Amino acid sequence: MQDNPKYVVYLSSMEMEASTRPMADYRQARKAANDCSGRMCQVEKDSEEVVRLAPPQLFNLAALQAEAHRLFGYTAGQTRELALSLYGKGLLTNPETDSCYLPVELGYPTEKLIRLLIKELPFLDDVMPEMEVRQTFGPDDETRGRHAILPVLTPGGLDKSGLDEPEQNLLYLLGARVIMAASGAHVHEDHKSRLTCNYYPFFIECRHTRQEGYRETEARMENFFGTRREGTIQREAGVYLGKVFGPCDTKIEQRVEKKTSF
């Protein structure tokens, strides 16, 4: 087994970081780094894909169990017992449901609930985003005699007195999902770009957010709980064809590939 070192030159400014393809020759990498240090660079090729992510549905029991496991590690049985405990205390609607929708007649009460939740949830800043509660409505066969799980607020707000941490976590999760389900879509651009600096090619993959939508509440909630969904953290940069960055800094990173010899 032999080490096969490769060298990557990184080019960075206040707005972005790009890199070369791996090089086998350190002298070539050092020359590229020296030649580009303090220089400007420009985007000469850019491939853009616009991605629109619809807001998530409200919770039924199965969806709540899956999300509680992702965020807190609760088993399906633990989540069901917690939900039934909160239901018994009058803090949420019947959790034994397979519906992810609301009937039309719950439209106005849900709007009122959202306004109160935004004031009550500790990870929000009491700012009312644009909401469209109608997108949570479902067909009659999905809401006849049942509907998605909703938190229930007392006249004093979100009653957390007497709740242990797992119960409080589940109540916060349910409240956040109501807001997310009625929020706008998340829209971003995924870019794969080639930049040129002093005739050297550099490459970058990045994302530019057009509209946060439901992701704003989701990110605040996950930061509050100390978790982030895998794949949701990606470098943000405003990249477009012809854009100029700089002056740029450079650095060299060595990567070692294991090469098997027989």
Q: Are residues 69 and 165 in the same domain?
A: yes
Structural domains in the chain (count): 2
Are 67 and 31 contained in the same domain? Answer: no
- Same domain for 189 and 176: no
How much is the pLDDT for 126?
Answer: 66
Q: Report how far residue 33's alpha carbon sits from residue 170's, in angstroms, rounded to the nearest whole number.
A: 51
Asked whether residue 115 falls in the same domain as residue 155, the answer is yes
- What is the per-residue pLDDT across 166-217, written as a single tens digit (0 to 9) for each? 999 999 999 999 999 999 999 999 999 999 999 999 999 998 999 999 999 9
Closest CA to 158 of 184, 107, 124, 127: 124
Together in a domain, 71 and 174:
yes
The domain boundary residue, chosen from 117, 151, 181: 181
pLDDT at 259: 60
Residue 21 belongs to domain with CATH number = 2.70.20.10
Helix axes 61-72, 76-88, angle to 10 degrees: 110
Query: What residue ranges in the chain does DSSP mark as E strands?
Result: 2-12, 17-19, 41-53, 186-197, 200-211, 244-245, 249-259
Do 14 and 124 lie in a common domain? no
Per-residue pLDDT tens over the stretch 131-164: 788 888 888 877 888 899 999 987 777 777 889 9
DSSP line for 37-74: TT--EEEEEEEEEEEEEPPPPPP-HHHHHHHHHHHH--
| Whether residue 164 sits in one domain with residue 114 | yes
- Does 6 share its domain with 98? no
Q: Check whether residue 249 and residue 193 sit in a common domain.
A: yes
Q: What is the pLDDT of residues 36-85, one digit of tens each?
A: 999 999 999 999 999 999 999 999 999 999 999 999 999 999 999 999 99
Domain boundary among 129, 146, 181: 181
- Kindly report, residue by residue over 82-129, the tens digit of the pLDDT: 999 999 999 999 999 999 999 988 888 888 888 888 888 999 876 666
Check which CATH number belongs to the domain holding 138 and give it.
1.10.290.10
End position of a domain, from candidates 159, 181, 203: 181
- Do 197 and 134 sit in the same domain of this protein? no
Question: Do 130 and 204 fall into the same domain?
Answer: no
- pLDDT bracket for residue 253 (50, 70, 90): very high
Q: Are residues 160 and 77 in the same domain?
A: yes
Domain encompassing residue 198: 2-53+185-259
Entry pTM? 0.79
Rounded-to-integer distance, Cα 35 and Cα 254, Å: 18
